[in-house]
């Protein structure tokens, strides 16, 4: 059986990064070293440099496959297998073969080559990885039909990232090294947007980093390596749910930050029975802090906390482990032995352990409460069983008493004590133990009918009897306590989950919290009340005047009103979580409301100030010119020639026309800001707006070059307003374009959007100034007095947004500014997918 070939894949973030180029360079190097290398298939896509690099390498002819009457070329798999080279260069691993080929996908062809013992070097873009397919579609808006399974790609012997900075790739695209010139503009504005390329590059880096990490873990597992390899710093912070957690997290983050690429992991260990002694609100706050520190939060289950911590740290290949100093005092530590910290230090091995001091460390020793976990009803029932069971058992044992029955008598009373412990807990069991011990001594131990013990061994037996009864009762009490705590923890988790779900689904946060609080605590009514003018913010249930009222302050005059019996101390902790979330929700609502109230006022002030500034000059100039012209015509005693009179009339007409246009723009701005602009959207061919716009500006083929590629697609737009937008954009573009350089208007359809692009090759606009060009009364870079009030682009964006579209500026390849109108497409009245 042939040895399986090796697979090497050059991975790229996007087309044009140089994957095929790198593959061919590697092929030429190996060919020069004497390896038997053949080019099975290479797609140059018209790139001269790539095609030139393949010259000189042995190349196999392609197979011709006829599909639906069209002859297409594919890799000749049979020819490669027959030739059986040492190494085959196979481009585009995700390619779908023509129907009728041996395999549906090219990666399946490669699998057969590998099985035949042929080494393969191939190429792949990150968008073709199966697990990333949906993420890439969300980023770029382009669905990918050709994918490669992750399992096949991860089986590759070598994965190498061919990386290039996003802006460098855009520059390479603009210079024509990736696509033909006619495809450059559309590519730069669609798939090759800077944000898209940055996101794709990060995806490729993260996926490859994860692959390297998995490979390292696989190697360590395969070779039984349990020690830590410090490939990079991984800092694990152990959280108990106590107040020291924030201190530990910040210390861990500083440790991780000291090394480049350090990783922060926070872990909380819960017991296997699901009990949670830590406050859920504290853990929730600490989890949020972990996310702010760019770390990850983990929760593991383990009965032995030190062992669980060390095992987790080793599984993550951690190099540092951060713990808080023990909160137990010296007396408690002496009684209970070494704590978690000391045990972790002993078992951590090569992992560095940091013991961090904090305010809660070594707190004063306090005795545990003697109150049992069982209900009062069960404790009373335990006493009843002891009081009734003791005499009954004594009567039965007296009837069957023999000289040798003392052992069975003791065991019978022991059984009674265990039963009482199971029913009533520690105090009834202790009572039963003492009571039955005295009964045994009085009725069954010589001398009988006296509370007197001759033999010391009998006294010891009685003492052991009481101790055993006490231990059994303590175990029962602890089990009951754990059961109640588990049920309580489950109820708390369910309540918090329900509250979070209500808010995430978009429900009103205050109302959702009020309803869940009433249901959780079984109260007749719960209200959230603002002490100011708003009154009741949220209310759930109904109450009467006789219901007790508990008020809890929420801040800023608001408070939570609970109607019904006061909550038990055990319920106060969960209530504090609800109060904290409710306070945060109210604060968030108040901030949103304040922002909504301030924004219109601020915008109005900005517009008002700019309007007053503009009116002081821009409206005065045409008004003054018209007034002077008319005044000259009316001046008595002045002899004017027909030429002078005509010139004055032209001046008046032009000035009044300019004044009318400025007033129209001002009215349109007012209507846009007041929401009174009437929009009549309908399926519109962009050509219906472009042609009239050219006529209105008097532009011809020497001034504007058209490249309309939208086919039969129609945009949802108001034709009249779209024409005004194009007139404004064309006027700006022609004013800033160099002499003799025509403005370009292109159209294209992409992902359900029709785009109209107005391209100039002027000085352009700096990236940090692009938002300013859409501000009313701003004339960025225009210092003449003939450019109006600076309302053109502000109105254009307002018109397009009123048509549910966008107007965005972009760099023109080679210099200049491109204004992109994006509108939803519609064909025959139905929205395009």
Question: What is the DSSP secondary structure assignment for residue 703, as one 8-state letter?
Answer: T
Q: Which residue has the higher pLDDT, 188 or 482?
A: 482
Q: Which pLDDT score, from 0 to 100, does residue 122 have?
A: 93
CATH class for the region spanning 682-831:
alpha beta
Q: What pLDDT shows up at residue 426?
A: 74
Q: pTM here?
A: 0.39
Calculate mean pLDDT across residues 621-648: 70
Mean per-residue pLDDT of the chain = 75
Least confident interval from 33-37, 76-80, 91-95, 275-279? 275-279
Nearest one of 201, 221, 33, 31 to 132, comparing CA atoms: 201
pLDDT band with cut points at 50, 70 and 90 for residue 665: low
Rounded average pLDDT over 113-134 = 86
Class of CATH domain 234-356: alpha beta
Which is it for strands 63-67 and 70-74: parallel, antiparallel or unpaired?
Answer: antiparallel
Looking at residue 370, what is its pLDDT? 42
Using pLDDT thresholds of 50, 70 and 90, give the confidence band for residue 181.
low
Of residues 142 and 806, more confidently modeled: 806
Looking at the DSSP bridge assignments, the partners of residue 239 are 268
Sheet bearing 558-563, strands edge to edge: 535-541, 525-530, 558-563, 549-555
How much of the chain, in percent, has pLDDT values that exceed 70? 72
More confident residue, 225 or 463: 463
Helix axes 620-634, 642-674, angle to 10 degrees: 150
Q: What is the largest CA-CA distance in the chain?
A: 156
Give the residue among 465, 403, 415 at the shortest CA–CA distance from 438.
465
What number is the average pLDDT over the span 33-52? 85
Looking at residue 617, the DSSP 8-state letter turns out to be: I
70's CB contacts (< 8 A; 6+ apart) are none
Confidence of residue 789 (pLDDT cuts 50, 70, 90): very low
* Domains 234-356 and 682-831 are alike in CATH topology: no
Q: Which of 294, 228, 232 is nearest to 258 (CA)?
A: 232
Q: How far is CA 371 from CA 228, 367, 379, in A?
A: 47, 12, 11
How much is the pLDDT for 784?
A: 43
Q: How confident is the model at residue 776 (pLDDT cuts 50, 70, 90)?
A: low
Specify the pLDDT at position 7.
92
In tens, the pLDDT along 208-223 reads 765 555 555 555 555 4
How confident is the model at residue 336, as a pLDDT?
Answer: 46
The pLDDT tens digits of the residues spanning 495-511 come to 666 555 555 544 566 77
User: Is the pLDDT assigned to residue 36 strictly greater than 80?
Assistant: yes
Domain boundaries, the chain: 7-222, 234-356, 376-480, 682-831
**Phi and psi for 383 in degrees, rounded to 5?**
-65, -40
Residues β-bridged to residue 758:
745, 819
Return the structure tokens found at 135: 């993420």
User: Which of 434-438, 667-671, 806-810 bottoms out in mean pLDDT, i.e. has the lowest?
Assistant: 667-671
Query: Where residue 382 falls among pLDDT bands split at 50, 70, 90?
Result: confident
What are the structure tokens assigned to 376, written together?
């009062």
According to the model, what pLDDT value does residue 499 have?
59
What pLDDT is attached to residue 99?
A: 84
Residue 275: the pLDDT is 45
Residue 62 has pLDDT above 50, yes or no: yes
Question: CA-CA distance, 553 to 570, in Å (whole number)?
Answer: 20
- C-alpha 246/C-alpha 283 separation (Å) is 10
Q: Domain 7-222 is in which class?
A: alpha beta
Q: Are 168 and 177 in contact (CB under 8 A)?
A: no
Mean pLDDT on 616-635: 67
pLDDT band at 38 (very low <50, low <70, confident <90, very high): very high
Tokens of 255: 């440790």
């Amino acid at each position: 059986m042939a040895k399986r070939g090796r697979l090497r894949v050059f991975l790229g973030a996007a087309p044009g990064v140089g994957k095929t180029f790198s593959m061919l360079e590697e092929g030429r190097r190996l060919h020069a070293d004497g390896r038997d290398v053949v080019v099975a298939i290479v797609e140059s896509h018209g790139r001269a440099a790539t095609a030139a690099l393949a010259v000189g390498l042995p190349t196999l002819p392609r197979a011709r496959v006829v599909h639906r009457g069209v002859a297409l070329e594919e890799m000749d798999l049979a020819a490669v297998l027959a030739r059986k080279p040492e190494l085959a260069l196979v481009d585009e691993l995700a390619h779908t073969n023509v129907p009728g080929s041996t395999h549906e996908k090219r990666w399946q062809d490669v699998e057969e080559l590998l099985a035949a013992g042929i080494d393969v070097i191939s190429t792949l873009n990150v968008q073709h990885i199966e697990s990333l397919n949906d993420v890439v579609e969300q980023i770029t808006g382009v669905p990918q039909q050709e994918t490669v399974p992750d399992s096949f790609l991860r089986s590759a012997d070598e994965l190498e990232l061919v990386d290039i900075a996003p802006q460098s790739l855009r520059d390479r695209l603009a210079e024509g090294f990736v696509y033909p010139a006619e495809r450059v503009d559309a590519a730069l504005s669609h798939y090759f947007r800077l944000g898209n390329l940055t996101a794709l590059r990060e995806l490729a880096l993260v996926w490859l980093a994860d692959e390297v990490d998995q490979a390292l873990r696989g190697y360590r597992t395969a070779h039984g390596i349990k020690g830590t390899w410090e490939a990079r710093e991984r800092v694990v912070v152990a959280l108990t749910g106590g107040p020291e957690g924030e201190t530990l997290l910040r210390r861990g983050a500083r440790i991780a930050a000291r090394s480049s690429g350090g990783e922060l992991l926070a872990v909380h260990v819960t017991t296997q029975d699901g009990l949670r002694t830590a406050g859920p609100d504290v853990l929730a706050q600490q989890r949020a802090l972990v996310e702010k520190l760019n770390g990850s939060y983990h929760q593991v289950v383990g009965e032995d906390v030190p062992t669980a911590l060390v095992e987790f740290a080793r599984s993550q290949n951690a190099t540092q482990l951060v713990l808080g100093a023990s909160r137990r005092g010296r007396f408690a530590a002496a009684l209970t032995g070494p704590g978690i910290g000391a045990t972790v230090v002993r078992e951590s091995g090569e992992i560095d352990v940091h013991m961090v001091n904090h305010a809660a460390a070594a707190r004063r020793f306090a005795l545990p409460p003697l109150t049992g976990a069982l209900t009062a009803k069960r404790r009373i029932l335990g006493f009843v069983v002891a009081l009734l069971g003791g005499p009954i058992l004594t009567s039965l044992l007296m009837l069957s008493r023999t000289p040798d029955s003392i052992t069975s008598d003791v065991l019978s009373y022991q059984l009674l004590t265990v039963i009482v412990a199971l029913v009533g807990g520690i105090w009834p069991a202790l009572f039963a133990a003492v009571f039955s011990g005295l009964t045994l001594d009085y009725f069954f131990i010589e001398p009988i009918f006296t509370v007197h013990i001759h033999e010391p061994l009998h006294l010891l037996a009685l003492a052991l009897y009481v101790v055993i009864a006490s231990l059994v009762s303590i175990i029962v009490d602890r089990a009951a306590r754990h059961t109640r705590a588990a049920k309580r923890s489950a109820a708390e988790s369910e309540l918090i989950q329900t509250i979070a779900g209500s808010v995430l689904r978009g429900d009103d946060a205050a109302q959702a919290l009020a309803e869940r609080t009433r249901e959780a605590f079984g109260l007749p009514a719960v209200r959230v009340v603002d002490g100011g003018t708003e009154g009741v913010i949220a209310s759930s249930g109904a109450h009467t005047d006789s219901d007790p009222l508990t008020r809890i302050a929420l801040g800023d005059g608001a408070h939570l009103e609970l109607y019904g019996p006061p909550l038990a101390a055990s319920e106060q902790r969960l209530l504090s979580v609800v109060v904290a979330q409710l306070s945060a929700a109210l604060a968030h609502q108040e901030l949103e409301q304040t922002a909504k109230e301030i924004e219109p006022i601020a915008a109005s002030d900005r517009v008002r100030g700019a309007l007053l500034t503009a009116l002081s000059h821009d409206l005065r100039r045409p008004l003054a010119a018209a007034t002077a012209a008319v005044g000259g015509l009316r001046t008595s005693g002045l002899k004017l020639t027909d030429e002078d009179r005509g010139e004055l009339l032209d001046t008046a007409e032009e000035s009044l026309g300019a004044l009318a246009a400025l007033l129209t723009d001002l009215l349109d701005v007012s209507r846009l800001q007041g929401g009174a602009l009437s929009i009549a959207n309908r399926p519109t061919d962009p050509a219906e707006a472009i042609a009239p716009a050219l006529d209105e500006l008097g532009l011809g083929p020497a001034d504007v070059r058209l490249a309309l590629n939208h086919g039969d697609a129609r945009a949802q737009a108001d034709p009249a307003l779209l024409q005004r937008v194009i007139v404004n954009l064309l006027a700006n573009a022609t004013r800033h374009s160099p002499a003799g350089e025509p403005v370009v208007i292109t159209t294209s359809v992409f992902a359900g959007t029709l785009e109209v692009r107005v391209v100039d090759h002027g000085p352009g606009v700096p990236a940090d100034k692009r938002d300013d060009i859409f501000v009313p009364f701003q004339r960025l870079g225009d210092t003449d007095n003939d450019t109006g009030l600076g309302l053109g682009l502000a109105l254009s964006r307002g018109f397009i947004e009123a048509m549910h579209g966008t107007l965005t500026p972009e760099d023109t390849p080679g210099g200049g500014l491109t204004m992109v109108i994006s509108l939803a497409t519609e064909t025959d009245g139905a929205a395009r997918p």
